[in-house]
A and B are shown apart, each in its own frame.
Chain A
Amino acid sequence: MIRHLLKLAWHRKRANALVIAEIAVSFLVLLAVTGTGAWFAYVYALPTGFDRQDVWSVEISRAGGDDAPPSDEARAAFSRLLAESKTIDGVREASLAFGVPYDGGTWDWEEDHDGVKFTTEVDRVSDDFDKVLGIRVVAGRWFEPSDDALSFAPVVVSLATARSVFHTDEAVGKKFPQEKGEPEKRVVGIVREFRKAGELSALGNFTFSRLTSTAADGSGPRFLLLKVGPGSGVDVEQRILDRVRAVAPTWSFQMKSLAEMRALRFREILVPLLVGAIIGVFLLLMVGMGLVGVLWQNVTTRTREFGVRRAAGASAAAVRRQIQLEIFVSTSVGLFAASLLVAQVPLLGFLPPHFARVTLIAFTGSAALMYLLTFLCAYYPSWMATVVQPAEALHSE
Chain B
Amino acid sequence: MLRSYLKLAIKVLLRRKFYTFISLFGIAFTLTVLTLATALLDHVFSPVPPERHLDRILYVKQVTLHGEHITLRGSPGFGFLDASVRNLPGAARVTICTRGSDVVSYSGGQKLRLSLKRTDGEFWKVLDFDFLEGGPFTVEDDRAGNRVAVINEATRRQAFGGVAALGKTIEAGGQAFRVVGVVKNVPIIRDVPFADLWVPIGTEPSADYKSQFSGSYLAMILAKDARDLPSIKSEFDARVATLKAPDPKEITSIASGADTLVETVAREVLPGTGRDAHGGLLEALLVLGAVLFMALPALNLMNINLSRILERASEIGVRKAFGASSRALVGQFLVENVVLTLVGGVIAWLVSAGALRSINLSGLVPYADFHMNLRILAAGVLLALVFGALSGIYPAWRMSRMHPVEALRRRA
Contact = CB atoms under 8 A, between A and B. Distances in A.
A211 B344 CA distance: 62
B22 A64 contact: no
A293 B208 contact: no
A357 interface: no
Nearest to A267: B364
A1 interface: no
Contacts of B296: 22, 25-26, 29, 283, 287
A254 B307 contact: no
A252 B174 contact: yes
Interface string B200-215: 0000111011001011
B103 A254 contact: yes
Interface string A228-262: 00000011011001000100011111110000000
Contacts of A25: 295-296, 299
Nearest to B29: A282
B29 A293 contact: no
A252 B205 contact: yes
Contacts of A150: none
B363 interface: no
A34 to B, nearest CB: 16
B15 interface: no
B346 interface: no
A301 B310 contact: yes
A289 interface: yes
A104 to B, nearest CB: 13
Given A254-B101, A282-B29, A286-B29, A297 B307 contact: yes
A269 interface: no
Contact of A293 (B18, B295, B411): B18
Interface in A19-33: 19, 21-22, 25-26, 29
Nearest to B27: A286
Interface residues of B, number: 46
Contacts of A61: 101
Contact of A297 (B104, B110, B311, B364): B311
A290 B26 contact: yes
A63 B206 contact: yes
A313 interface: no
A41 interface: no
Interface in A293-326: 293-294, 297-298, 301
A26 B295 CA distance: 10
Contacts of A6: none
A397 interface: yes
Contacts of B103: 252, 254
B77 interface: yes
Contacts of B109: 234-235
Contacts of B77: 65
A287 B72 contact: no
A294 B302 CA distance: 10
A91 interface: no
B297 interface: yes
Contacts of A285: 25
B19 interface: yes
Q: How large is the interface on A (under 10, 10 to 19, 20 to 34, 35 or more residues)?
A: 35 or more
A65 B295 contact: no
B102 interface: yes
Contacts of A21: 299
A67 interface: yes
B214 A294 contact: no
Contacts of B204: 63
Nearest to B292: A25
B297 A241 contact: no
Interface in A322-359: none
B303 interface: yes
Interface string B261-276: 0000000000000000
Given A63-B206, A67-B72, A254-B104, A293 B307 contact: yes
A279 interface: yes
Contacts of B209: 63, 65
A22 B302 CA distance: 10
B331 to A, nearest CB: 22
B18 A63 contact: no
B113 to A, nearest CB: 9
Contact of B174 (A19, A26, A235, A241): A241
A144 B355 CA distance: 56
A18 interface: yes
18 contacts: A25-B299, A63-B204, A63-B205, A64-B212, A234-B106, A234-B109, A237-B111, A241-B104, A250-B206, A252-B173, A252-B205, A254-B102, A282-B29, A286-B300, A290-B304, A294-B304, A297-B308, A297-B310
Query: Would you list the 9 A-B pairs with minimal beta carbon distance, nearest first?
Result: A63-B206, A297-B307, A250-B206, A290-B300, A289-B22, A286-B26, A22-B299, A250-B205, A63-B208
